Amino acid sequence: MNKGKSIMLQGTASSVGKSLLTAALCRIFHQEGYRVAPFKSQNMALNSFITEEGLEMGRAQVFQAEAAGIKPSAKMNPILLKPTGDSYAQVIVKGKVYKNMTAVEYHEFKPQLREMIKEVYDGLINSNDIVVIEGAGSPAEINLRDKDIVNMGMAEIADSPVILIGDIDKGGVFASIYGTVMLLTEEERKRIKGVIINKFRGDKRILEPGLKMLEDLTGIPVIGVIPYGDLNIEDEDSVTQRFTRESNKEGKVIVEVIQLPHISNFTDFHVFETLPDVYLRYITSGDRVGNPDLLIIPGSKNTIADLKYLRESGLEKEILRAYEEGSNVFGICGGYQILGQKIKDPLGVESSITEIKGLGLLDVETIFEGEKVTTQVEGRVTFEDEGLMKHCKNTSIKGYEIHMGRTKLGKDVEALVTIDKKLGETVAYKDGAVDKEGRVFGTYLHGIFDEVAFTQRMISNILTKKGLTPSATQPMTFEEFKNKEYDKLAKLVKENLDMNKIYEIMEE
């Protein structure tokens, strides 16, 4: 194969499986010896990641890069939109915050981004054998077509063939595929070289007459029918079903995570689904907090609004009740800020509310500033007691920070960790806070639980306190677990997709 081929996956709607199938192709091409990279020109997600260079990008392209066996780069996702409300979003360009815009403002701004996208994409395709491009939503959003930079507009920039994906699990897959194709222009239809039916359950023989009729109607071959698989791979964003499911109900350690309206980086908790002793549950609107061993308040893209939500929904009282009844409480980033005494926003970074009272479980105060912190860090746990953090001192941790706030510690807390490296440079500063009883914890480090040695030690401490014995199963590192799942995904797709046709399409 010559250098610099591309294939683009578009869908009939959001959540049809574009992100996972992009990861699958990245893994398959990587397994077959090609240099491959994912690319999505524009991603809308609250779930983001910080690269080694301190640049911000969407998490979908992170797990796709992992599947491709390469390090994530903001070049794989040059535009990231982080919604801050119903009609506003923070616009991140090439890994750095550009400004907040309304939906209308951004739509008018998009044509100015076209040349930048082309430049970034050209750099990626010139340094790889294959680039797998992911679209967003549907190419049949005809009201947005004139300024499109992520679906057919991106296919034109890359001059790439397109595979169209339909989700049969939702019902109406033939209508959605046919309707999508028919709403495109003739030139756009010519770009679609194949169709994939995704999330199939049942006997494929029953489906085959419909596949033949669809091919006759559209003139486009169906090149794969991908069944549901038993996979545990992080989702792109909170539009998925992750919050409605529970993992491992037989787990002896109960971990509950509050689903905030503006929850960000919920992938911080994916690791708990891989641990045999843990039962993970998300607390959604209308749920009651139980009596968990560990109650987590996650990150937030709008901390003040989510704090108000906790107060108005009654979840604040539920959290305080669980704490009083013995639950350990852990806050990540925005959740850490919420656990404090006060949050101040004098510059109006998040809202017109200049000061709001926190939950008061940690003696800290946060003030929002104009400059956003985006960094990767490494360090070690420096707090230790006889409770949750027993034998945790000097355990290595790493993660990344994405926040506008600076948090000041009071006299009734001490730091949780010491940071030794920041973006690869040697540093020495403290992060996080722990209360005097050693039961309330806060940190700015997304990904802190991914260090399985640290997390497993906490779980073991909880089991010991309950008079239980940890599982004899030795947990894999989180990286090992993810690679096993990427291989399972690749095997599933390879067995049900005409890969020879994929290569033929790229050669055309």
DSSP collapsed to 3 states, 247-296:
ECCCCCEEEEEECCCCEECHHHHHHHHHCCCEEEEEECCCCCCCCCCEEE
Do domains 5-233+483-507 and 253-467 share one topology? The answer is: yes
150/79 Cα distance (integer angstroms): 10
45/265 Cα distance (integer angstroms): 9
Q: Which residues contact 25 (CB under 8 A, 6 or more apart)?
A: 7, 9, 36, 132, 493, 502
CATH topology of domain 5-233+483-507: Rossmann fold (3.40.50)
- Residue pair 196/163 in contact (Cβ under 8 Å)? The answer is yes
Put the strands of the sheet holding 79-83 in their side by side order: 42-44, 79-83, 88-93, 96-102
446 is catalytic: yes
Q: Nearest-CA neighbor of 456 among 221, 236, 277, 217?
A: 277
Q: Which residues contact 318 (CB under 8 A, 6 or more apart)?
A: 288, 289
- Residue pair 18/10 in contact (Cβ under 8 Å)? The answer is yes
Q: How far is CA 145 from the centre of its chain?
A: 27
**Number of residues that this document lists for the chain:** 508
| pTM (2 d.p.) | 0.89
Q: Nearest-CA neighbor of 232 among 492, 495, 446, 498?
A: 492
User: C-alpha distances in angstroms, 439 versus 139, 323, 382, 383?
Assistant: 50, 8, 15, 12
Burial of 107: CB neighbours in 10 Å, binned 0-12, 13-18, 19+: middle
Q: Tell the CATH superfamily of the 253-467 domain.
A: Class I glutamine amidotransferase (GATase) domain (3.40.50.880)
pLDDT tens, N- to C-terminus, the chain (508 residues): 446 899 999 999 999 999 999 999 999 999 999 999 999 999 998 889 999 999 999 999 999 999 999 999 999 999 999 987 778 899 999 999 999 999 999 999 999 999 999 999 999 999 999 999 999 999 999 999 999 999 999 999 999 999 999 999 989 999 999 999 999 999 999 999 999 999 999 889 999 999 999 999 999 999 999 998 888 887 654 444 455 456 677 889 999 999 999 998 889 999 998 898 999 999 987 889 999 999 999 999 999 999 999 999 999 999 999 999 999 999 999 999 999 999 999 998 888 899 999 999 999 999 999 889 999 999 999 999 999 999 999 999 999 999 999 999 999 999 999 999 999 999 999 999 999 999 999 999 999 999 999 999 999 999 999 999 887 766 678 899 999 999 999 999 999 999 999 999 999 8
* Set 262, 270, 333, 392: catalytic member: 333
Q: What is the pLDDT of residue 3?
A: 64
Query: φ and ψ at 284, to 5 degrees?
Result: -100, 175
Domain segments of the chain: what residues? Answer: 5-233+483-507, 253-467
User: C-alpha distances in angstroms, 113 versus 40, 251, 292, 406, 469?
Assistant: 14, 48, 47, 32, 56
Give bridge partners of residue 400 from the DSSP assignment.
376, 446
Q: What is the pLDDT of residue 119?
A: 97
403: which DSSP letter?
Answer: E
Q: What is the pLDDT of residue 118?
A: 97
Tell me the helix, strand and coil percentages in the chain, rounded to 5.
35, 30, 35
Structure tokens at 51: 């690269």
463/455 Cα distance (integer angstroms): 13
259/252 Cα distance (integer angstroms): 22
Q: Nearest-CA neighbor of 248 among 473, 55, 58?
A: 473
Q: Nearest-CA neighbor of 279 among 238, 246, 305?
A: 246
333 is catalytic: yes
- Residue pair 89/69 in contact (Cβ under 8 Å)? The answer is no
Q: How far is CA 307 from the centre of its chain?
A: 22
Structure tokens at 401: 């920070």
Structure tokens at 243: 């919050």
Name the residue with tokens 């792109």: 236
Q: What is the pLDDT of residue 224?
A: 97
